[in-house]
Amino acid sequence: MSISLSRLTKRYGPNVVVDDVNVEIPEGSLTAILGPSGSGKSTLLKLIAGLEVPDEGRVIIEGDDVTDVDPRYRDIGFCFQHYAPFRHMNVSKNIGFGLRVRKQPKDVIEVKVRELLELVKLEDKANSYPAQLSGGERQRMALARALAIEPRVLLLDEPFGALDAIVRTELRHFVKELHRQIKVTTILVTHDQDEAMEVADQLLIMHAGKIEQAGEPTELYERPATEFVHSFLGPTTLFKGVAVRPHDLELVSPSVGSIEGVVTSIMELGFEIQVTITLSDGSTPWVQMSRNEFRALGVTTGSPVSVRERVAQ
Amino acid sequence: MDLPAKPSSSLLGAPPARKGWRRFAVRLRSSSGAIGGGSLIVGYLSIIVLIPIAAVVAHGFSFSIHTQGWGGAFWHWHLTAGFGTFWTDVTQPAAISAIRLSLWLSLSVAAINAVMGVAIAWVLVRDSFHGKWFVEAFIDLPFALPTIVVGVVLLFLFGTQSPLHIDLFETWMGLMVALLFVTLPFSVRAVQPVLASLDGEAEAAAKSLGAGGLRTFVSVVLPSLWPAVLGGFGLAFARAIGEFGSISLIAGGIGRTTTASSYIYNLTQGFLWTNAAAVSTALLVLSLIILIASNVFARRFQHRLAP
């Protein structure tokens, strides 16, 4: 295991922000800590980096207990949500900072910085200042700066949070690809479940300071251990009093003479269509289907329909 | 973070044409900072600052002004003669030593307070302690206190009858203590808001990259503070070189501790107006040079930091 957290607890006054967290993070994995804001996920990341001091528990990295080790000696690459650029240094100087602190020879630094510039595709921005970069470029610079010290662990705090949708998607692919190339154990914190499902090979779902469930994304999606994980990972809708995935429901023609419900709204989201039905018992489940399925059904608002759970094929 | 682009003003369309003062008022409102606001500022500065300064400079060079008949209506200045008397006035040994004293005192005071200002601002922004509000208020005291009151207090504390047994009467150290006191708020208040605006992420980043406290301060925090430190330096210097009240008592009346401002005052007491204006002009030029220099340096740093 690359990182083990045992009984890790952090309080701010009376608030328990991280509550008795026990987690093992496998070597070389790309783990996403996923949770709503205020769930303690960023604090957990800072505890691993040493930027916050735990009230209880231990942080073990590659077998070393680093709980009492100053962050500067933990060999951890940390990327901040707002990139934390050194604004008076150009991109090269930013990336080389950790190496200069480590008193590496000039020529070694130069070679290393050039490699990293290439890795994060910022070769032509080497002499630009952070103020002259776009959000995505700043984030890539921050990644290169963190990677320069060849960290044992790479920690990313909401790495895509401050970017617009298109750059965000680009950078997600970039991080995934980067991880494939350099295989450093990486943990990223996010509140966006799509992002977590797409990028990570391991998920930690956090809620109110506790880990709700850990495991592979598919496993968590299909076999959520708690109600919270179920509702947080992907959409849910209430059908017969039970929370189900709206794509596990389907619409069928009502049997003759028995109208079980009517279509009350249709939302067309490109490929995906969401149809809301008002059933005779007053409940309003919604059903998720593809555009093709929707066309084949041929329903419109007001159509009488019946709802049932999809039969696994 | 990228801020959304501001809507272009052309979307709003050109303001409708109006007549007379209303049009002027509209222009003032719509383009304050451009033409209307600009001329307003220049006009105000002329009345408050530029014209009095020009008067002093003119007097210093003892320009005489003749109109060559109504038709000509241009001014003839006795430039060569004026410059001669100016030069003799400012190169008097007493004048030179006064200006020199003022210069080195003000530069060192501004430098010392630049360092102390950063330290005090740091403590005020980053630490919390009992009585912080009192220190906050106390910093601004030199702004509020009449300088002659400072002079009286200092004379009492550091005069020949010093209760602390520290006699700084008629010494440069006495002057320095006075100047350090009156210029401190400039140095602290220039740095404090900038320090408060740093979110600490860059410092945490430096730490995670292996930098220690000193390294982080010198290579991450200080570069962001330079423009503010230099701004505070310029203001403190300007205040120090012009200071009169707080130093006039502790300086006593001897030549060794006569600063430029006291020297000018002494000249006016002897009705030597032209000499006084000449030394004032020299002081003005020196102050301008140092203010402009600190501004240029501050801009150079600011240029890179601008988001």
pLDDT per residue as tens digits for the range B89-118: 888 888 899 999 999 999 999 999 999 999
**Mean pLDDT in residue range A4-16:** 93
Give me the mean pLDDT over the B257-270 stretch.
89
Q: Does B254 touch chain A (CB under 8 A)?
A: no
Cβ of B208 within 8 Å of Cβ of A82? The answer is: no
> What is residue A256's predicted lDDT score, i.e. its pLDDT?
59
Which of A216, A231, A246 marks a domain boundary? Answer: A231
The pLDDT assigned to B23 comes to: 58
**pLDDT number for residue B66:** 41
Please check whether residue B132 is in contact with residue B219, taking contact to mean a CB–CB distance below 8 angstroms: no
Per-residue confidence (pLDDT) for residue B71, from 0 to 100 = 41
**A134 vs B contacts (CB less than 8 Å):** 2
Contact (Cβ atoms closer than 8 angstroms) between residue A32 and residue A196? yes
- Specify whether A176 is located in the same domain as A262: no
Res B287: pLDDT: 86
Mean pLDDT for B176-185 is 94
Asked if residue A273 has pLDDT above 50, the reply is yes
What's the mean pLDDT when you consider all of chain A? 90
Note whether B208 contacts A72, CB cutoff 8 Å.
yes
Considering chain A, what percentage of its residues have pLDDT values greater than 90? 63
Per-residue pLDDT, A22: 95
- The SS3 call for residue B29 is helix
Neighbouring C-beta atoms of residue A190, cutoff 10 Å: 22
Cβ neighbourhood burial of A40 (10 Å; 0-12, 13-18, 19+)? buried
pLDDT digits (tens, 9 = 90+) for A187-199: 999 988 888 988 9
Given this model, what pLDDT does residue A259 score?
A: 63
Contact check, Cβ <8 Å, A131/B206: no
- Given this model, what pLDDT does residue A313 score? 56
Instruction: Give the pLDDT of residue A282.
Output: 86
A11-20, A23-32, A184-193, B19-28: lowest mean pLDDT where? B19-28
The answer to whether residue B19 scores a pLDDT higher than 90 is: no
Q: Rounded CA gap, B266 and A41, in Å?
A: 70
Category of A84 on φ-ψ map: left (φ > 0), alpha (ψ -120 to 50) or beta: left
Please report, for residues A34, A44, A48, A51, A165, the alpha-carbon distance to residue A16 in angstroms, rounded to integers and kept in the order given. 18, 12, 17, 17, 33
* Tokens 């007001």 found at: A302
Q: Which residues contact B35 (CB under 8 A, 6 or more apart)?
A: B27
Do A16 and A96 share a structural domain?
Answer: yes
From the list B2, B209, B301, which residue is nearest A97 (CB)? Answer: B209
ipTM of the complex: 0.81
Are the beta carbons of A73 and B202 separated by less than 8 Å?
no
User: Domains in chain B, please, with CATH?
Assistant: 16-83 (no CATH), 91-305 (1.10.3720.10)
What is the distance in angstroms between the Cα of A293 and the nearest Cα belonging to chain B? 39
Question: What is the pLDDT at residue A266?
Answer: 93
A202-225, pLDDT tens digit by residue?
A: 999 999 999 999 999 999 988 889
Q: What is the CATH number for A283?
A: 2.40.50.140
Q: Check whether residue A246 and residue A227 sit in a common domain.
A: no
CB distance A51–B208 less than 8 Å?
A: yes
Check whether B1 has a pLDDT greater than 50. Answer: no
Verify that A276 and A194 share a domain, yes or no: no
Report the gap between the CA of A272 and the closest CA in chain B (Å): 30
The pair of three-digit structure tokens given for residue B209, joined into one six-digit string: 């990259």
**Neighbour-count burial of B302, counting CB atoms closer than 10 A to its CB (0-12 exposed, 13-18 middle, 19+ buried):** middle
Q: What average pLDDT does this structure show over A275-280? A: 90
Residue A182: enclosing H or E segment and its boundaries?
helix A165-182
Q: Kindly report, residue by residue over B221-243, the tens digit of the pLDDT.
A: 998 898 899 999 999 998 999 89
Residue B207 at interface with chain A, using a CB cutoff of 8 Å: yes
8 A C-beta contact, residue A209 and residue A7: no
Among A231, A259, A275, residue at a domain's last position: A231
Look at the block and give the residue holding tokens 């205020």: A38
Same domain, A136 and A150: yes
What pLDDT is stored for residue B68 in this prediction?
43
- By C-alpha distance, the chain B residue nearest A84 is B202
| Same-domain pairing of A62 and A10 | yes
Q: What is the pLDDT of residue A152?
A: 92
Average pLDDT score over residue span B285-304: 82
Of the ranges A37-51, A53-67, A233-247, B176-190, which one carries the lowest mean pLDDT score? A233-247
Report the pLDDT value the prediction gives residue A62, as an integer from 0 to 100: 92
| pLDDT number for residue B87 | 81
Q: What is the mean pLDDT of residues A106-114?
A: 96
First-to-last alpha carbon distance for chain A, in angstroms, is 38
Contact status, residue B94 vs residue B258, Cβ threshold 8 Å: yes
Q: Is the pLDDT of residue B63 over 60?
A: no
Give which of A239, A265, A234, A235 is closest to A250, Cα–Cα. Answer: A239
User: Are residues A141 and A169 part of one domain?
Assistant: yes
Q: Count Cβ atoms within 10 A of the Cβ of residue A250 and give its class: 0-12 exposed, 13-18 middle, 19 or more buried.
A: middle
Mean pLDDT, residues A260-264: 89
Spatial distance between the Cα atoms of B78 and A232, rounded to a whole number of angstroms: 87
- Looking at the structure, tell me whether residues A221 and A242 fall in a common domain: no
A40-77 pLDDT, tens digit per residue, is 999 999 999 999 999 999 999 999 999 999 999 999 99
Residues A242 and A110 reside in one and the same domain: no
Q: What is the pLDDT of residue B70?
A: 42
Range of the domain at A287: 237-309
Q: Which range among A98-107, B173-182, B265-274 shows the weakest confidence by mean pLDDT?
A: B265-274
Q: Which of B209, B214, B304 to mutate to test the interface with A (most CBs of A within 10 A)?
A: B209
Indicate if the pLDDT at residue B130 is higher than 60.
yes
Report the pLDDT value the prediction gives residue B73, as an integer from 0 to 100.
39
Tell me what pLDDT residue B281 has.
87
pLDDT at B303: 65
A58 and A6 in contact (C-beta within 8 Å)? yes
Say yes or no for a CB contact (<8 Å) between B215 and A164: no
Q: Is A47 on the interface with B (CB under 8 A)?
A: no
pLDDT of residue B72: 39
A72 touches chain B (CB under 8 A): yes
Same domain, yes or no, for A161 and A264? no
The pLDDT tens digits of the residues spanning B239-253 come to: 999 898 888 888 887
Query: Is B68 in contact with B74 (CB distance < 8 Å)?
Result: yes
Where among A231, A247, A282 does a domain terminate? A231
Residue A258 — very low, low, confident or very high, per pLDDT cuts 50/70/90?
A: low
The CATH number of whichever domain residue A90 belongs to comes to 3.40.50.300
Rounded CA-CA distance B292/B289 in Å is 5
Lowest mean pLDDT among A227-236, B68-77, B286-295: B68-77
For residue B51, pLDDT over 50 is answered with: yes
Residues A180 and A249 in one domain: no
Give per-residue pLDDT as tens, A177-188: 999 998 999 999
Mean per-residue pLDDT, B158-167: 85
Looking at the structure of chain A, the number of domains it has is 2
B285 touches A: beta carbon within 8 Å: no
**Chain B contact for A77 (CB, 8 A cutoff):** yes
Instruction: Answer yes or no: do A101 and B209 touch at CB < 8 A.
Output: yes
Q: Are A19 and A202 in contact (CB under 8 A)?
A: no
Q: Do A109 and A248 belong together in one domain?
A: no
Q: Do B199 and A82 touch (CB under 8 A)?
A: yes
Confidence of residue B25 (pLDDT cuts 50, 70, 90): low
Separation of alpha carbons B79 and A59, rounded Å: 80
Looking at the complex, does the CB of residue A103 fall below 8 Å from at least one CB of chain B? Answer: no
- Among the partner-chain residues B208, B305, B307, the one whose CB lies closest to the CB of A49 is B208
